[in-house]
Structure 1
Amino acid sequence: MQKTTNDMTQGNSMKLIFQFFLPILIGNLFQQLYSFVDSMVVGKGIGDVALAAVGNTSSVHFLILGFAMGLTGGLGICISHSFGANDIEKLRKEIAMSVYICLAIGIVITVGSLFWMRRLFVFLQTPEDMMTDTLVYFGTILAGSTVTIFNNFAMTLLRSVGNSKVPLASMIVSSVVNIVLDLLFVFPFGMGVFGAALATVLAQVVSALYCLVYIRRAAELLPRKTDWGADGVLLGALVGKGLPVAVMNSVTAVGGMVLQVFVNQMGTAYVAAYAACMKVCGLFEQPGITLGLALLTFTGQNYGAGKYDRIKQGVRAGVVLSVLVNLPFAALEIFCPKLLASLMLNDATVISYTCIFLPVTGVALFALGWLFVFRNACQGMGKTVLPMVSGIVEVAMRVMVVLLLAPRLAFRGVAFAEISAWVGAGVMLMITYFFYQRRLSGKTPDVRG
């Protein structure tokens, strides 16, 4: 039987991070693959306007559900500290309180978002010819948001205790389910964008149930009856760690929404091209995101154990791995943008617009990878406020650059606005990490986190 937990406070840092990172990368690529296939099915099976409608939801999706996913990631920081310190009593209690937090956030997001959804897309100046598909698709996604939140928490919990293989398997299974249901719902059943969204929600259900099977096998991860009593102090501590990460995600999404407004003003053809570019970027940024998650767990466990020198080793390994894993993806964006876009789009003119955008983001992919390394290293040490501020830096850079360059460079200006956010926030996070690391030098280990 597969071991559910994995101690990362001892052993070769590079080897541990790579072994932990690889399954998450494969899993995240599978998850992004079904998002990519979803776009292919929608674009080829329904049309470019439908693809534009689905892509138009991406920044709002990250604003709303990104908040919840950031919160679950923050909860994982506390859990990894307790696991690293071998404080099983606190670990179980944190898991129980985290379940309450996830349930509350899921209900609030579902009810509140459905109420404000139309107003938000009108504010974003969504073209009228894609408004109906946009609302149908995103409304279905929001209806299943509680399931999505619990699925993300289940995977975060397993990763926080060093298990990246079960989340890998769950994402592979859910990816296959999503792709099969996508093809079934859109083509023979003719359910349109509703079918594509429903397939995504059902795949999340399958993933959550798969993770739960393995969580139940680890006694240290199962709260006892007494652990379910509400603990205001612990709830406050968990929210205090998770809220800055959640806010960072949502603030970052605001920058994406600003860019979406500029693209929407260019017309449906550019919206479709931008949607395809964002799908490619979402797929190709997965190595950086994944490496960040590996650093988050590694740093969190070693911070909880008071092994501060190992954090330095882990971050150095992360920087090297980031360059290596991003090389092939950057090359594809720079040299093969037309090929990538043609997998989702039909119109040659729309495809040509993606060739303006993708080479720019491909060049800056390395900066994005380092951003994830340093952001997650800081968060793993329990320092979530300044990484939250880095989200504000991202928004500021996107807004300033798009206002400056979009009138002059049009769609290429939007691309430069995107990568400026990566560079600006990355520099800030690098400085932040070294500041925190200097404060740790010579510090007596403190397992309170």
Structure 2
Amino acid sequence: MSKNRQVVLTEGPILKALIALALPIMATSFLNTFYSITDMAWIGMLGSRAVAGVGVGGMYVWLSQGLSALAKMGGQVNVAQALGRGRRDEAGQYACSAVQLTVIFAVIFAAVCTLFTDELIALFHVGDAETVRYAVVYTRITCGLVIFSYLTFVLTGIYTAQGDSKTPLVANFLGLFVNVVLDPLLILGVGPFPRLEVVGAAIATVLAQFIVMTVLVLGVIRDGKKNVLSECYLFRPSEKKYYQGIFRIGVPTALQSTAYCAISMVLTRMVADFGPAAVAVQRVGGQVEALSWNTADGFAASINAFSAQNYGAGKMDRIRNGYWIAFRTIAAWGCLIMALFFIFPEPLSEIFFHEAEAIQISVSYFLIIGISEAFMSVELMTIGALSGLGRTRLCSIISIVFTGSRIPFAMALAITPLGLDGIWWAMSLTSVVKGIIFTIVFHRITHNGRS
């Protein structure tokens, strides 16, 4: 990578290196958050049924990320560790293998979702015909063309592993611009554009993802041999050991991502028993919560690359110091979002909802979920650090066990006078527990010198 884009992660001041890599990633996360919130705000003008339909369809887009997470995490960690060891050719092989697997996964998932859309949406037992119609069309478009988001996700990970977070920032900015312009034009029908409603939202999303992917691919061409993907040939298989290396690191992350989504789908089905407004609140609340989630995830990507490269270079003290710097930063941000949810729950709700019932449900959501924001941020950042050390299996076990506990916990609380609020409490309190446990685990592993 050229000097003005690459951040040296294995030498020099730790804080400077982390900030230089993290700021563009965090800016990218903010762009993605802004995009999601803007999308929901425009869709919200169509009513809570449209929001609920997009929320249900979006669950399968989220579910699909388990496959892309396998290639992304497996590729990113192995590329960064290989670069830390000074083995650039090896890093290139891992990167190319990750891209090849991504294309295969995207084609398979798109085929399944396109052929069985009605059956997949029926699993939620939504009950409202209009909501189902919105969910079906949104799923067919976004999942059928999921290859664009898949490649964007994996290419971003490979850029980050090399210490370049600026190129993904530029790509996502252009994608956001396209989406912000197209959303009102295609959803509501402005000027010569037809009113496509949810179809328009799906088209705008897919086109934006295509733009981001294209910019990232052009970045590889621009960089030439300075990019580890410069000599990648899509239809030339890599050696078996590279695929095995990606699966070894990536499978636990994929299982964790898929399990988390599956658990959320079960919870969404429980929420659906309380009506379309409740489903809409869960969907919108998740998008607003992305103010902390996406930021923490962006910082997690930074500490992941930092930990992986320094692990490859054998610098454990540097990893420990970097983690605690990141911990203080992300915990402070989580507390800020928590304060936002506590102080302004009603104004936040009124941005997206115009029905009294939905606003009331949304206010309760923000007040309860707000308790967990700092803990959730620390959890995601710590998963990034541990994954950089190759401990994806441990992260998967902890995450699946405690996230899975939300289901019985929510079932028990939902039949009490808490009702729907009981489900929100189950989600919030388990996030608190996970944040504490992951912090303790990282301290013990790095304190004992194991990885």
> What corresponds to 1:207 in structure 2?
212
> What corresponds to 2:116 in structure 1?
116
How far does the alpha carbon of each residue in 1:267-289 deviate from its partner, in whole angstroms, 9 at most, with x for none?
Answer: 11222222221221123322221
> What corresponds to 2:140 in structure 1?
139
> Is 2:271 aligned against 1:263?
yes
Amino acid at match of 2:329: L
> What corresponds to 2:39 in structure 1?
38
How far does the alpha carbon of each residue in 1:20-70 deviate from its partner, in whole angstroms, 9 at most, with x for none?
Answer: 2121111111112111111111111x2221111112234333222243235
After superposition, residues 3-402 of structure 1 pair within 5 angstroms as: 3-44=4-45, 46-129=46-129, 130-188=131-189, 189-216=194-221, 217-220=223-226, 221-224=228-231, 228-402=236-410
Q: Tell me if the contact between 2:8 and 2:17 (Cα under 8 Å) persists in the aligned partners.
A: no
Amino acid at match of 1:183: P
> What corresponds to 1:404 in structure 2?
412
TM-score of the pair, normalised by structure 2: 0.93
**Measured at CA, do residues 290 and 395 of structure 1 come closer, stay the same or move farther in structure 2, by a change above 3 Å?**
same
Q: Tell me if the contact between 1:249 and 1:391 (Cα under 8 Å) persists in the aligned partners.
A: no
Q: Distance in 1 between matches of 2:296 and 2:412?
A: 28
Amino acid at match of 2:91: L
TM-score of the pair, normalised by structure 1: 0.93
Q: Distance in 2 between matches of 1:208 and 1:226?
A: 17
How far does the alpha carbon of each residue in 1:316-336 deviate from its partner, in whole angstroms, 9 at most, with x for none?
Answer: 101100122223322111111
Q: Distance in 2 between matches of 1:168 and 1:86?
A: 26
Q: Tell me if the contact between 1:96 and 1:223 (Cα under 8 Å) persists in the aligned partners.
A: no
Of 117-126 and 432-441, more deviation after overlay is shown by 432-441
Q: Distance in 2 between matches of 1:225 and 1:8?
A: 24
Q: Tell me if the contact between 2:376 and 2:434 (Cα under 8 Å) persists in the aligned partners.
A: no
Once the two structures are TM-superposed, the CA of residue 163 in structure 1 deviates from its matched residue by 1.1
Q: Distance in 2 between matches of 1:229 and 1:64?
A: 24
Q: Distance in 2 between matches of 1:168 and 1:272?
A: 30
Q: Tell me if the contact between 1:337 and 1:355 (Cα under 8 Å) persists in the aligned partners.
A: yes
Once the two structures are TM-superposed, the CA of residue 391 in structure 1 deviates from its matched residue by 2.7
Amino acid at match of 2:212: S
Q: Tell me if the contact between 1:298 and 1:311 (Cα under 8 Å) persists in the aligned partners.
A: yes
Amino acid at match of 1:266: F
Q: Tell me if the contact between 2:76 and 2:95 (Cα under 8 Å) persists in the aligned partners.
A: no
Q: Distance in 1 between matches of 2:377 and 2:159?
A: 23
Q: Distance in 2 between matches of 1:204 and 1:122?
A: 27
How far does the alpha carbon of each residue in 1:1-33 deviate from its partner, in whole angstroms, 9 at most, with x for none?
Answer: 773432200111122212221211111111121
Q: Secondary structure at the match of 2:11?
A: coil
Q: Secondary structure at the match of 2:116?
A: helix
How far does the alpha carbon of each residue in 1:344-392 deviate from its partner, in whole angstroms, 9 at most, with x for none?
Answer: 1111221111111111111211110110122111100011101111231
Once the two structures are TM-superposed, the CA of residue 218 in structure 1 deviates from its matched residue by 4.3
> What corresponds to 1:447 in structure 2?
none
Of 210-219 and 403-412, more deviation after overlay is shown by 210-219
> What corresponds to 2:434 in structure 1?
425
Q: Distance in 2 between matches of 1:410 and 1:65?
A: 31
Q: Give percent identity, aligned residues only.
A: 21
Q: Distance in 2 between matches of 1:266 and 1:226?
A: 51
Q: Tell me if the contact between 1:254 and 1:395 (Cα under 8 Å) persists in the aligned partners.
A: no
Amino acid at match of 1:424: V
Amino acid at match of 1:427: I
Q: Distance in 1 between matches of 2:262 and 2:230?
A: 37
Q: Distance in 1 between matches of 2:406 and 2:107?
A: 31
Q: Distance in 2 between matches of 1:414 and 1:37?
A: 26
Q: Distance in 2 between matches of 1:361 and 1:239?
A: 34
Q: Secondary structure at the match of 1:5?
A: coil
**For structure 1, which runs of at least 5 residues remain unmatched after alignment?**
444-449
**For structure 2, which runs of at least 5 residues remain unmatched after alignment?**
none
Number of matched residues?
441
Amino acid at match of 1:379: S
Could you list the structure 1 runs, at least 4 aligned residues long, displaced by more than 4 angstroms after superposition: none
Q: Distance in 2 between matches of 1:218 and 1:323?
A: 39
